[in-house]
Amino acid sequence: MISVAGLTKRYGDFTAVAGSDFSVASGEVFGLVGPNGAGKTTTLKILSGLIEPSGGTATVAGYDVEDPEMRSVLGFLPEESPLYEDMTPLSYLRFFADLYDVPRGVATDRIDAALSRLDLNHRERRLGDMSKGMKRKVTIARSLINDPDVLIYDEPASGLDPLTTNEVLQFVGELAAAGKTVLFSAHNLYHVEDVCDRVIVMIDGEIVARGTVAEIRATHGTTEYHVYTTVPVDSATNENAAIDGATIESATNGTEPTTSPERDATNDEESEAIPATPGAHGTVKGDTDRADVPHRARRAGTTRANAARNGHADMDGRSDVSANADGSDDADSTDGTTTERERADGSTDRYETVVPDMAAVETVRERATERGGTVVDIRTVEPSFEEIFLAIARPSAGAGS
C-alpha cells in the first residue's frame, strides 16, 4: 500500500532523509521511530504530498506522492493541527466533508460513527473551548472523513492523558483491523511496541533497524535467563565463575537469596512461575524493563521501580538483603556465604543466577543437584523496546557530539 525506494530529502547541504527504502502492507500498522531530527516528520510529509522529495520514489495506494489524486485516498494527521476555533466539531467536520465532495448524508453517518467511537459527545461546543484531547479526537475524525485507504499519523497521542491515549491507540488498531493501512510516528516506544506490526528506526536521516519488535530485539538485544535455586551454585570465593562459557554469579558475589514468589503474598507484581523442568522457560511479565540492572539477585518479580517503592532497592537500583525481625539479614553467616533460611511461615530463601542461554541453565541445574538443592524457577527476561532503541541511538548520539 505504501512503497518507498531511495527516498531522499535535502535542504541545501543538509540531508534530512538519506535513501530510505521500506514498504507497508494493506491493513498493517507500521511504526516510524527515532530521536528528534531523525527525519521522521520529513518522511511523513513527503508521503502526504506536503513537500517534494529530492530523490527516490514513493507511492501511496498506487499513486505517486506528487500526484494530487493521491490525497483522495489519504488521511493525514500532523503532530500540530490547529483548528478553526470558532467552529464546532460538527461544522468543522462538515466543512472538510464538503472539501472532499462527500455527500451530506454519507458525511453525517461517517461523522457520527467516528465521534461516537472516539467518545466525543460535545459536538456543538466551540472548538476553542475544548481540551487538547477533545481537539485531537476531532482531528482524527477529520482524517477519516473521506474514508481513506491509508492513514498517516504524526504523533497521534502526543501530549494526551493516559486514558485518551489508550482510546486513540485502540482506535488505531481497530482501523487496521478494518483494512486500513496506518503509518505513524511516536516517541513513546511502549505505544509502538503495543500496536505496531513492524517498525523502522531512523537516526540522522537513515534507517538503522527494521522489522517486527521481536526481530529488532533478537538482533540488537540480549536475553537473560534467571535461574532460582534452593542452594547457591558456587563457592564463597568464586567471583563471576565461567560455566560452559557463560558468566554465572554466585550467591556470595552479590547474589542474595530471594523469597519464593509463590509464598510471598506482599509481592503484588509477581510474574508467573515457570516449572523447573529441562528447557522450561518463559517471559517475565512484570520484569522486562530490567535488562540494564546489574546481574545481582533481587526479590523475585520485583521491578526496580517497585523495589524502590517497597524499600528493597538501594540508590543504584540493586536490591538489598532484607532484614529479619531480630535486625540481622539473610547473609549473616560467619563464613560470608548466603545461607538458605526457613521463615516462620514455612517459606525459604532462594538464590538467583543469571545466565545467557539454556545450556548454562542446565549447568546451574546440575550444580544445584550436586549440592543437594533443586531449581525451583526459571524465567526469561528480555529488554524492552525502549532499551533496545536507546542501545541503537546512543552510539550515534555520541558520535555526533
Q: What is the pLDDT of residues 206-247, one digit of tens each?
A: 999 999 988 998 888 888 899 999 998 873 222 233 344 444
Cβ atoms of residues 255 and 351 within 8 Å = yes
pLDDT band at 344 (very low <50, low <70, confident <90, very high): low
347-390 pLDDT, tens digit each: 567 889 999 888 999 999 999 999 999 999 999 888 888 888 88
137-188 pLDDT, tens digit each: 999 999 999 999 999 999 988 888 888 888 889 999 999 999 999 999 988 8
Question: Phi first, then psi: what are they for 100, rounded to 5°?
Answer: -90, 5
pLDDT for res 316: 35
CA dihedral 198, 118, 102, 50 (to 10 degrees): -50
pLDDT band at 301 (very low <50, low <70, confident <90, very high): very low
Q: Cα–Cα distances in Å, from 268 out to 286, 301, 305?
A: 10, 9, 13
> Mapping DSSP to helix (H, G, I), strand (E, B) and coil, where does residue 2 land?
strand
Share of the chain above pLDDT 90, in %: 50
Please give the mean pLDDT across all residues of the chain.
76
pLDDT for res 348: 61
First and final CA of the chain: distance in angstroms? 38
Q: What is the mean pLDDT of residues 308-328?
A: 36
What share of residues in the chain are helix, strand, coil (percent, to 5)?
30, 25, 45
28-87 pLDDT, tens digit each: 999 999 999 999 999 999 999 999 999 999 999 999 999 999 999 999 999 888 899 999
pLDDT band at 396 (very low <50, low <70, confident <90, very high): low
Name the more confident of 226 and 309: 226
Buried b (16+ CB within 10 A) or exposed e, 77-108: bbeeeeeeeebbbbebbbebbeeeebeeeebe
Cell numbers describing residue 160: 494526551
pTM: 0.66
Rounded CA-CA distance 284/378 in Å is 10
pLDDT for res 144: 94
88-126 pLDDT, tens digit each: 999 999 999 999 999 999 999 999 999 999 988 889 899
Count CB-CB contacts under 10 A for residue 221. Answer: 19
pLDDT for res 245: 40
